Every structure is written in structure tokens, then in C-alpha cells.
Structure 1
Amino acid sequence: MPSSSPSSATGAIVICRRVCSPPEPMPWRPVWLRRVGLCLALLLWGSGAGAALQLDIGRIVSGGATARGVTLTIDQARGQIRIAHLDVVGQRFNNLHLECPRLSLADGRIRCRDGRLRGLPALADARLDLDYATASQTGELDIRFAAGGRLVLRSGKALGAQFTRLPVADLARFWAPAGAWQPTGTLSGQARLDAGNLEIKATLDAGGFADASGNHAAEAVVAELRLTADTRKTGWRWRAEARWEAGGLFWDPVFVSPVVTIRAEGQHEGPHLDVEELRIEAPGVPDFRAHGRVDLDAWRLVEGDLSLQGADLAVVVPQFVLPWVAPAQTERWRVAGGADLSLAWRDGALQAAELILDQAGFAYLGQRFRVGPLSGRVPWRRDAPEAGLLRVDGLHWQQLDFSPFVLNLTVDRDRVLFDQARLPVLDGALIVDGLALARTDAGWRGEGALFMEPVSMRALTAALDLPEMAGTLSAAMPGLVVTPQRVGLEGALVIALFDGYVQATGVEVIDPFGLLPRLQANVTAEHLDLAQLTETFSFGAISGFLDVELAHLQMAAWRPVRFEATVRSTPGDYPRRISQRAVEHITALGGAGAAAAIQRSFLRFFNDFGYREIGLSCRLVRGVCQMEGLDGPGPDDAPFAIVRGGGIPALNVIGYNRRVDWEEFIARVKRAVAGDTAPVIK
């Protein structure tokens, strides 16, 4: 046998390069493989045990994978395989370096044990076993990941893969943008690539992801995926089916839960992904279809159409709509009915949309506010206004039921404009005039005006379960502004009541749909008929008129926390009489020590008395009402006049306690109206 001198090794290498190096391009063919076997024999014959040997191979093609610039180097029992470029399914990997601490060449097989692959960060910590038969062109690459997953690649006529609990985080290293999403979970399944045909079946277990902000995340996801693709043409022709069975997805502010089935097919060419058909089946979404084109470089929808038929609003609205329009009140709404939705996307922007409602219904806080059944059509186009219509067969607020009415509307880009509408209620109507809803940077905003046609107070108070009142109610609310955070009146709210009027200015409700709504307002009332007022609330009988001023009113959860209130009899010439029962109630409001004084004790037997003026003030701060009478402020222990007598017999009502707990004051009012407080008459 020849010696293993360096000169012998050099001669063997020269012969091998001449015999084994195929002209470009050259696939890995059986005839040439026999030449490779001869070359390896020459290497072993010429090298002996002490020389480093090298084999250069131009190109290897196997099962849809192509390797170029392949170099095999052998140094005793160790070896290295370098690949300049490896192309697999449209992906190119450069400068790959497989180190084999245990390399053997025998019986036409190349075996590598406990190898390490350099050049792929995803496999930096993995161990590899390679077994390749040169004659049959079959081989197996077994990759064992440090985290416990395993990937077995088999080559031959087809390229196959079997993977078990493959770490998604390691796979994400093959695509740099995926790393920012911190993917988790494991993949198990199999894949096959045969002459340009790709098929993948995989199961994701405990999957998840999260972006840096935490506004987009998923966890505990269990899903199945099947993908087939034909890569023989320019680009890919693909078909995919996925079933999401467990876990949760949060895409701020929407939380999505399973079970969801997705089927899609299309093609991928260059920077574009064409989705020719996409179908989704999910709870509340029986028929969702879409198609379109996505620019993968910019990750942007270029054009597409979406159709959603027969959506169950009871499922879809709480999950996908309320988190956007009323995130703090999602649990307070109840929704029912069906809807159809269509969208058209062109030139990278939404161009048209249409919403069709079928017997839809909405309720807030139980049944305090309820709309429906509601049916109609709301269209939208980017380049032109569109007319729509809503037919409301039911509207309920508190205990008021409105008769059916129709809303005609126009959708103009980011605004919805309503024609003047008349909403019949009781024996009158609520007029909605100039109402416009607009989408702004701060969210949606509504503006308009409301007017109340005269409504019988007897019918209204009966419907609201209030003490029966006489007369009629009419109101004007111009300059009404509504947002999810605020309801405000930029003008004045005027209500005709008790033959006088009540006017509110600076009305503003903060967080109207939240857990703690807060109201601010200034209220004045003039020329209220005391006879109607006292009759309504069973306060006794007082003739005359009353003026009220309620300044700096602040309420939290609809309970007053601050105000400055003043009640005065209206100036003017009119009959002024007050019944003994009314005297009793006014005296009770004055608190402990309050007294009614008349000129002579025998006049206690009179049913009513004349008075000249009535006046009482309360400034509420921190739960305490600081009271004043007709003469204005004074020391806390100084008496104050509430009623000043006039005529015969003359009557005065005097209070002595200027600081009264507000809850106690309300209790006094209730006791007075209930008639369980007797006056002190002197």
C-alpha cells in the first residue's frame, strides 16, 4: 500500500478535483455520485491517517433544496462541511459551516455525530447527527435543540421533516422581525417538499407572543395548521387551513377567544401576497369572506373586499365594538339581533362600507335605556356622501316608551348627519334637530339640539312614578354636545314648569357612562306657582310665586356634594296665603328650636295666614348645609327668619340652627312631607 506522505495526498486531491468537480450547473446524479465514491477512495488511499483532505463540489440539488459552493474537509476522524449558499423554499442561507467531531466515510455513507452548525443563530445551541448515502442520494439530519425539541430532516427524491416540540422562539430567529414579538410555544408535526410541492402539518402548543408595549399579546394558544404550496412556478401557489382551539389573543383594546377556523388560498409572488379567498368561522361569525392583496414589504393591505353575513350582535359587539367606543362600560351593555357588513379597500385605504341591521337591540344598565328592534342600512363612501335609514320600532328610557319612528341620515366621510326627527312620547314628542356624530382624534363626538313638544305633567309623572304634577312640560336644549367622556350644554336648558320656567346653564356631565358620573350646572327658576308646587308634593297649601337660584351645583353619582341655593318669594302684587300645614312643614325644615309665631295664641285655629315674603338659603360644603334666612348671614347661634308675616293675622317662622347636616336636612324634608312633624306655635 502506498505511504501516506504529503506528496501522495496532494496527488490524490488533484485527481479528486479533476474527477469529482462537476461543471456548473450540475445536479447530484447517480452517475456522478459513483465518481464521488471513487474520489473518496482516492482521498483515503492517498491520505492515510495523517493528512488533511479537501473535496470541492460545485452544486448539489435534492428535493427542492440547492446547495452551492460545497466543500468537504477531512482531518483524521474529524471533518467540516462548508456551504457557501443554501436555497430552500425561496429562502437563502449563506456561509454555513458544519463541524463534525466524529466523521466517518465508509460503504458509500457520510456520517457525522454531535455536529455543530455555524451560520444559523437558530441552531447555534443544537446538536446534529448526519447520515448520507451517496449512492441512493438519501440521508437524514437529526437536530436536537437545547430546549428539548427535535427536528429530523430526510433527503432523497423528496425533502421531508419530522419535528417534535420544536421551540417557536428558535424558529423565529430565521426571520428577524419575528424576534421583536417574543414568540413562545412549541411546534410538532411534519413537512414534505417534493419537486416544488410543499406540504406542512403542524400543531402549536402553549403558543404566545407579546410586543414591547404589551398592547398586543397572546398566550396558551393551541392551534392546528395545514399548508400546501406549489413552488414550481414563479412565486408560490398556496392553500392554508388553521383551527384555533384554545388560548386568548389581546389586540388592544380587543380580546379574542377561540374557537376559530380559518381557510385561505392564493399566491405569493415577489413582495405581494394575493389572498384569493379567505373564510373564517368563529362564534357569532357564521359567514366571513374576504379577498385582497397585501404588500409584504410595507405590511399593508393594498386592495381587498370583505363580507360578513348574519353576524350575531350579542357576540360580536361586546367583543369587537364596545372595547373601541365605550371601553369602560362594556359590561353594562346588552346587545341582540343580526347584522351584515361589507368593506371595500382600494389603493391602500378603505373606500366603501355598508352596515345592514336586522332586528337589532341595545340595552344599557339593565332596562333603563333600551333601543330596538332596530333595522336599516348605513352606507359609507370615501369620495361621496351616502344616504341611509334606520327604522326604530322601540325606544325605552327609564319608564318612558317612545312610539316607532324613522331616522333619515347622511354619512359623509367621518360624520353622520341626521335629518330632523320627531320621536313621539306620551301626548307630545321629542324633536331631534341638527344632530351630527363625528369621529375626531379624541374619539366620537355628537352635536345637535333637542326640543320637547308640550307633554302633560300628569302623564309624565305617572310614567316616571313621581308625585303627580299639574300643567305641561316643554323644553329646549340647544348646543348639546355628547362624547364618551362628557355631555355638555353649550347653551341653556329651558323647561316650562308650574306656570314658570327653569333654566340651566353650564350643564356638564363628566364620565356620563362611567361608575361615578359627575354633574356641574347653574340653575335658576322664576315665577313658579307655589299652589301647584305645594299641591304636587303634599306640602300643604301656599299661594303665590317662588324664585329659586341654585349656583355652582356639583353632583357625584347623582347626589349633590356642593351648591349654593336660595329660595325667595317672587316680587310683585299677588295673593299670598300659607296654610297651617305648610307652616308645620316649613317649621320642621328650620330644625330643632325652629318656631312659628303669630300675633295671638287664639289665632292658632285659623286654617291659613297671610305672609309678606318667604326666604331660605343653603350653602352645601362637605356634607353640611349652612343656612340663612331673609336677613342674610349671621352668627351660627343667631336666629333667622324663614317666613315674614303680613296682613291679619301676621305670621313669622323663625329658625335657630344655621348649620345642618345635609342628610339630616333631607330626612327632615321627607318627615315633613310624610306629615309626622308638629309645629311649635306661639
Structure 2
Amino acid sequence: MSGAAWAGLQLDIHQIDHPSFSARGVSLLLDGSAGRIRLDQFAAAGRQWRAVYLDCRRLQLDEGRIQCADARVGGVPELAGARLNLDFSTKSRSGRLTAQFADDARLTATLAAHGALDLKFSHLPVALLARVWPAAAPWHPVGALSGRASFDGRRATVSATLESAGFSDASGSHAAEALAGDVRLSAVRQGDAWRWDMRAAWTAGGVFWDPVFVPSGVSLLAEGQVSGQEVTLFSSRLDAPGVGDITAKGRLDMADRKIIEAEVSVRRADLAVAVPQFVLPVVAPAQTERWQVAGWLDLDVRWLDGELHGVEVGLDQVGFAYLGQRFRVGPLSGHLPWHRDTPAQGHLQVDGLHWQKLDFAPFLLDMSVEQGRIKVDPARLPVLDGAIIIDRLTVAKTEDGWQGAGGFFMEPVSMRALTTALDLPEMVGTLSASIPGLIVTPRRAALDGALVIALFDGYVQATGLEVIEPFGLLPRLRADVVAEHLDMAQLTETFSFGAVSGFIDLALKDLQMAAWKPVRFDASVRSTPGDYRRRISQRAVEHITALGGPSASAAIQRSFLQFFNDFGYGEIGVGCRLASGVCQMEGLEGPGADASPFTIVRGGGIPALNVIGYNRRVNWDELIARVKAAIASDAAPIIK
């Protein structure tokens, strides 16, 4: 109803001041028993509203007492749709305002003459928060609040309970539902500062903050002081499932939103709960189910003069395992410190390190920690009858994140013991290796230099080796590999290939693997030049023939076959260029037309032996299956 429609009495009041609110340009218009209260400006709780009015179904004025019953309010969006009842004395400056909302929600504000304000609220919709605080509107808050709050200028108290609350953003990546909890807050004014203490408990529901889900069961005790834009936290304690208890104290600059100084401590955090819940969803979301973590962690963090000043990490019986790779570490315990201004010394006692069936004996890692870098002292990691030696190892923070770099070598290890532990065909001899440079990041591991392995009386060298996403769903490997002077007698005995004496060289260029299966390479195997005994058994002929495709054959002088179990040879050579699942074969002559035959074994001595291949394009999976079948079979070779 417009002001012109009110034909009765009008009373103007210039202003009303109260410790809890102020009103300017107050007008009371009467028309029979009904009326309107109009305010040009109204201020409370640090906010202002203009052109506010109350349309009262019943309005009474009696010796400075204003009574407005069953009113509707305009100009205050927070109270839109509410029905109000006002009883206020301009003489004593005291009174009561009651707001009735839908679904039995109710708010009662009582003003005392000395300035005290008392608020009682029951089932108050949290959605009203979006009207009071516009930044909350996109989060679509729901739920209800019940409780009481009071303020008298020197003391303030809040006691509230939250029920069936929740929120969500437009994308759904940040949401909560079925939230419940309570909070108790009291504050006392001391000069220009407010001394406060708080108790809060989150008792039901959960919050999803992509990619982390946080369940209920969190409680907080805290006390501190607010002075201007500075908040001082004298003490606080947070209890939550899996994180033990967290204590903190410090000072914060709210204007600049920074920590001036602070200390935070975490005691007995259960990593079996905390890591899968808070860490793995962030660092390895696709691998969360593959990791198992156990043990406890202590953590101390300190800020000074607005900067992170120190971190102390304590580990107790910590262990973790990656199920897909049968990789386990732990238990391990130790102390890892970091100080901004000075280097610190840390240590890590590793009582368990396992890969496949390979078990390391306990070892100790000593390290120095300084700004942005961890340097591990040289160490010996015993394994089987040898050891892996850490010559140098540094983990540093770079522009692209954390990066590890180091050099390693392996003391000779029995191949028989190693292959048994790794479920590989049993090999003879010893293994030693040298890795002068290795670089590791969270998504990549690469050699800086060459990996050299002594094996089968020769050596294998890998260069350009890198693994992308080693723990991802599709790990990828690239490398160039060269092997020289490998003893074929040891090699063929290891893989039940038959018997071949002599030595071979191997070149594997542009090797590319996905999910640990080869998808591309250019391979060449040649007998090593030199003067040495060269013999090949009938069974080895069968297996080599399988490499030449279904039309391959072994040619030999038939009349002498019954007198020989093995044969001499002059040269062995075979190549495969793998692409798109097809192996382009070649022999001693090198590349050739698809229809042209190629020589895999060139005879030497008596009887003369040649193995000829006729199919230069062979399906890779079929080739591997054929070789496996030939090795598994004890059938006699097909001799032509």
C-alpha cells in the first residue's frame, strides 16, 4: 500500500538510537487499527538498509510504546516472507521483535534498556544466509539453525545447533549433505580487544571437496583474542578420525590474510586412515585402491615473521605397499627435519624393503635437509649376497615440482638367487650394474647417462631410458639398448632354448613399451666377430627356425643327420623392426623385398647348416607365441 493511501494520523520521529541498532527518518502512519511503520534508514550488525517499512495489521501507539502485530516487511530481503510482531518503547528503548517464517522457523530479538540484545532462533533456514551474505548464494545452502545469541556491549555468547544442512556449487565438485553439529562461542571485551573461546563439534554428514571426501567426527576447542585486524590464537585442539589430535597457536593478520607467527602440531596421525582419505585422492586419484598404508606420523610446523620457518616430521612403524607391483616398504621409522635458515640432519631406519620376492636387509639412511633440498649420504642397501650402493642422491624442489637425482651401482649379486627371487628363469653367473645418473619426478623416471649391466660374461648398456607414469594405468618406457659379447651357452641354457655355443651382440634401437609390452623397436642380433667355438644343437635349430615364420626351413645334408646331435655354424643374424603389431624380419643379408628369403643361420663346418626364413612380415603376438610353444615342446626339429 502506498503512503498516499494512508488517510489517518501520521507521527514522525527524527531518529532512534540504541546500542544494537539505529533508525533514521521514522514515520508511523495510522488508519484505524492498521498502520505502517516506515524507516528511511535502518542499521544493525554492521549493515544498513534503506526505505524499510512494516505494514501492520494492527498498530497501536500508547505513551511512547509502539505495538505492531502480524506485519509484513519490505526493504529487508533477509526477512522477505516473514510475519513480524514488534513491541518497542521509545522511552525505555527496550522491546521485542518476533519473526515467524515458514515451516515453524522463528526468530525472537529482545532489546533491553541498557543495550543488551538477546536472540533466540528455532529451525531458522540456513538459506537465509544467502540473503545476508550474497557470496553464499551460488552454493545453495540448505538446513536449519536453532539456538541462542546475546550481546550487551561487553560480552557476547552464541550457542547454536545445525541440522540437515548442506551445500553444493554449480559443478557438483564441492558439496555437502546431512550435516549436523553444534557450536558454543563466548567473548568478553577487554579494552579494544575481544577475548574469546569456542567449542564446536561436527557430528553427522560429509563434505566432498573434489577429490577429497571428509566425514564427520571432528571437534574443536579454541581460545584467543581479536584486536582490530589481528587475530591471536592462544590455543586450539582439533580431534578428527585418523589424525590423532592437532594443536595450534599463533597470530594472523586478517587484513593481509597472512600468518604472522604460528605453531601447529599433529600427534599420532594414523596414516592408514589419513593417507587414503586426504593424500591419495590428490596425488594418485586413479591408484587409490592399489595402495595400502600403515603407521603413525608426528608433525610440527612453525611460521615466524610471516614465513614458514621449520618443519619436523616423525615416522613410527610406517609402511606402504603397491599391490599391482608387489612392492612393499616398511616398517620404517625416523626423524625428518627442515629449518629455513640452517641445514638440519635427519635419519630414516628402513627395516623392510620388498619387491616381488626380493627382500632387502635393514639399512639406515642419513641425510641433510636444507632450503628446498634433501641430500642423502652414501649408503649400502644389502640384498641377497650383494648390495645396492647409493653413491649420491638428492631430492630438490624445482620450478616443475620435486625432482630426485642420484647415482647408484650394484655389487655383484648371484644371478641364480636373483632370478629365483624375481620368478624368472634360473640364470647362472653374477650381475653387477652401474647407474651414474638417474632423474625421478612424480610422473617420470629417466637416466642421465647410461645404465650398464654385466651379464652372461658380457654387458648390456641402456641409454635414453625413461619411464613415463610408472605407477599409472598406462606406464610407457623408451630406451636404446646395446649388448655385446653375451655368452650364448649361458643364455640358451637359461631359457631352455637348446644349446648354442659362441657369443652374440644385440642392438635394440628406439624401444617403446606401453603397459610394459613392446609396441615399437628396431632390433638386430648378430654373432660376435672373432675366433671361438661355434656349435648349435638340433633343438636350438627348431627354435631358431620358429623365428623365420611358418615357411622357414633348416637345410642340411640329410645323409649325415643320423651321426650328429649338433652342428657347426658360421654366422647367426636376425632382425625385427616392430611397428603396428607387425615385425618386419631380416637376416644376415639385411633388409629385402617381402617375398625374398633371408638367412638366419649360415652354415660352417660339416655338415653344412643353413636356416632360411621366407616370411618377412610376421605378427608380433604370433611370433612370441610360436617361440614359446617351440621352447615348451620337446619335438624333434624339422630338417630339410
**TM-score, structure 1 as length reference:** 0.86
Equivalent of 2:403, from 442, 445, 467?
445
Q: Deviations over 1:29-58 (max 9, x none)?
A: xxxxxxxxxxxxxxxxxxx98442223455
Question: Does the CA-based 8 Å contact 1:454-1:474 persist in structure 2?
Answer: yes
- Residues 447-462 of structure 1: pairs in structure 2 closer than 5 A: 447-462=405-420
Question: Does the CA-based 8 Å contact 2:431-2:455 persist in structure 1?
Answer: yes
1:71 aligns with 26
Question: Does the CA-based 8 Å contact 1:67-1:83 persist in structure 2?
Answer: no
What amino acid is the match of 1:112? C
**TM-score, structure 2 as length reference:** 0.92
Question: Does the CA-based 8 Å contact 1:218-1:250 persist in structure 2?
Answer: yes
- Aligned to 2:420, the other structure's residue is in SS state helix
Question: Within 1, Cα distance between the matches of 2:209 and 2:522?
Answer: 48
2:57 aligns with 102
- Residues 164-313 of structure 1: pairs in structure 2 closer than 5 A: 164-175=122-133, 178=136, 183-194=141-152, 196-209=154-167, 217-231=175-189, 233-251=191-209, 253-313=211-271
Question: Within 2, Cα distance between the matches of 1:447 and 1:116?
Answer: 72
Identical aligned residues as a percent: 60
Q: Does 1:80 align with 2:37?
A: yes
- Residues 580-599 of structure 1: pairs in structure 2 closer than 5 A: 580-599=538-557
Q: Does 1:653 align with 2:611?
A: yes
Question: Within 2, Cα distance between the matches of 1:114 and 1:441?
Answer: 65
- Aligned to 2:272, the other structure's residue is in SS state helix
Deviation at 1:206, TM superposition (A): 3.8
- Aligned to 1:458, the other structure's residue is in SS state helix
Equivalent of 1:541, from 465, 489, 499?
499
2:96 aligns with 140
What amino acid is the match of 2:538? Q
Question: Within 2, Cα distance between the matches of 1:251 and 1:292?
Answer: 27
Question: Within 2, Cα distance between the matches of 1:490 and 1:446?
Answer: 12
Deviation at 1:360, TM superposition (A): 1.0
1:416 aligns with 374
Question: Does the CA-based 8 Å contact 1:487-1:510 persist in structure 2?
Answer: yes
Deviation at 1:124, TM superposition (A): 4.5
Question: Within 1, Cα distance between the matches of 2:334 and 2:205?
Answer: 36
Question: Within 2, Cα distance between the matches of 1:631 and 1:116?
Answer: 100
What amino acid is the match of 2:449? G
2:287 aligns with 329
Deviation at 1:176, TM superposition (A): 5.4
Q: Does 1:122 align with 2:82?
A: no
Q: Which stretch shows the higher mean deviation, 468-477 or 74-83? A: 74-83
Q: Deviations over 1:238-285 (max 9, x none)?
A: 221111123333445543222111111112121122221111111112
Q: Deviations over 1:61-97 (max 9, x none)?
A: 5xxx243647343343423243756454xx3536573
1:3 aligns with none
Question: Does the CA-based 8 Å contact 2:88-2:94 persist in structure 1?
Answer: yes
Q: Deviations over 1:277-331 (max 9, x none)?
A: 1111111122211112222223322221111111111112222333444344333
- Aligned to 1:618, the other structure's residue is in SS state strand
Q: Does 1:470 align with 2:434?
A: no
What amino acid is the match of 1:529? D
Q: Does 1:666 align with 2:624?
A: yes
Equivalent of 2:11, from 37, 48, 53?
53
Question: Does the CA-based 8 Å contact 2:30-2:59 persist in structure 1?
Answer: no
Question: Within 2, Cα distance between the matches of 1:646 and 1:232?
Answer: 105
Deviation at 1:186, TM superposition (A): 2.8
Deviation at 1:135, TM superposition (A): 7.7
Q: 1:412 to 1:147 in 2, by over 3 A?
A: farther
Question: Within 1, Cα distance between the matches of 2:157 and 2:148?
Answer: 8
Q: Deviations over 1:455-487 (max 9, x none)?
A: 111111111121111111111112211112111
2:3 aligns with none
Question: Within 1, Cα distance between the matches of 2:192 and 2:364?
Answer: 56
1:371 aligns with 329
2:454 aligns with 496
Q: 1:224 to 1:365 in 2, by over 3 A?
A: same
Q: CA RMSD in A?
A: 2.6
Question: Within 2, Cα distance between the matches of 1:440 and 1:257?
Answer: 35
Q: Does 1:150 align with 2:85?
A: no
Deviation at 1:379, TM superposition (A): 0.5
Gaps of 5+ in 1: 1-47
What amino acid is the match of 1:653? V
Gaps of 5+ in 2: 1-5
What amino acid is the match of 1:395? L
Question: Does the CA-based 8 Å contact 1:79-1:103 persist in structure 2?
Answer: no
What amino acid is the match of 1:461? T
Question: Does the CA-based 8 Å contact 1:332-1:365 persist in structure 2?
Answer: yes
Deviation at 1:424, TM superposition (A): 0.6
Question: Within 1, Cα distance between the matches of 2:180 and 2:397?
Answer: 38
Question: Does the CA-based 8 Å contact 1:553-1:560 persist in structure 2?
Answer: yes
Deviation at 1:437, TM superposition (A): 1.4
Aligned length: 630
